[in-house]
Amino acid sequence: MSRLCRLTLTFLFVFFPFIAHAQWYKHSFKVMGTMSHVEFWLDQQSKTDNDIINAGVAQNEQAQALIKAVELEMVRIDQQMSPYKEQSELSLVNRSADKKPVLISGELFELLSTAQHISALSDGAFDITYASIGYQYNYREKTRPSQSSIVQTLPAINYTAISLDKKRSTVYFNHQGMKIDLGGIAKGYAVKRCLTLLEEAGIKHALVSAGGDTGLLGNRKGRPWLVGIKHPRAEHKMAVHIPLENEAISTSGDYERYFIEDGVRYHHIINPKTGDSARKVVSVSVIGKDPTYVDALSTTVFVKGLTPGLKLINALPDFEAIIIDNQRRLHYSQGLQQ
Ligand code: AMP
Ligand code: MG
10-residue stretch averages of pLDDT, the chain, 338 residues long: 47 43 92 95 67 75 96 98 97 98 98 98 98 97 97 98 98 98 98 98 97 97 96 94 98 96 98 98 98 98 98 98 97 93
Q: Is residue 11 part of a domain?
A: no
Q: Which pLDDT value is given to residue 251?
A: 98
Buried residues in 104-135 as b, exposed as e (16+ CB within 10 A): beeebbbbbebbbebbebbebbbbbbbbbbbe
Q: Which pLDDT value is given to residue 59?
A: 87
213: helix, coil or strand?
strand
Which protein residues have their CB within 5 A of the ion that is ligand 2?
184, 250, 252, 295, 298-299
Q: Pick the closest to residue 214 from 168, 239, 246, 260 (CA basis).
A: 246
Q: Which atom of ligand 1 is nearest to the CA of 115?
A: 21
Q: Is residue 129 part of a domain?
A: no
316: helix, coil or strand?
coil
Cβ–Cβ under 8 Å, residues 194 and 38: yes
Q: Is residue 82 part of a domain?
A: no
Q: Which pLDDT value is given to residue 15?
A: 43
Q: Is residue 107 part of a domain?
A: no
Distance in angstroms (rounded) separating the CA atoms of residues 272 and 277? 9
Q: Is residue 119 part of a domain?
A: no
Q: Which atom of ligand 1 is nearest to the CA of 212?
A: 2
Angle between helices 49-81 and 106-121 (to 10 degrees): 70
Q: Is residue 327 part of a domain?
A: yes
Q: Is residue 275 part of a domain?
A: yes
Q: Which pLDDT value is given to residue 289?
A: 98
Determine if ligand 1 sits within 6 Å of the CB of residue 298.
yes
Q: Is residue 312 part of a domain?
A: yes
158 Cα to the center of ligand 1, angstroms: 15
- Cα distances (angstroms) measured from residue 3 to each of 7, 8, 9, 10: 6, 9, 10, 10
Determine if ligand 1 sits within 6 Å of the CB of residue 251.
no
Q: Which pLDDT value is given to residue 143?
A: 98
Determine if ligand 1 sits within 6 Å of the CB of residue 129.
no
State the alpha helices, DSSP H only, in the chain.
Answer: 3-15, 49-81, 89-96, 106-121, 131-134, 147-153, 186-200, 291-304, 306-314
Distance in angstroms (rounded) separating the CA atoms of residues 172 and 335? 39
Number of domains observed in the structure of the chain:
1
Domain that holds residue 220: 214-337
Q: Which pLDDT value is given to residue 13?
A: 41
- The CATH number linked to 235 is 3.10.520.10
327 Cα to the center of ligand 2, angstroms: 22
33 Cα to the center of ligand 2, angstroms: 15
Ligand 1 pocket mutation pick from 34, 90, 299 by most atoms within 8 angstroms of CB: 299
Q: Which pLDDT value is given to residue 80?
A: 98
251 Cα to the center of ligand 2, angstroms: 6
65 Cα to the center of ligand 1, angstroms: 32
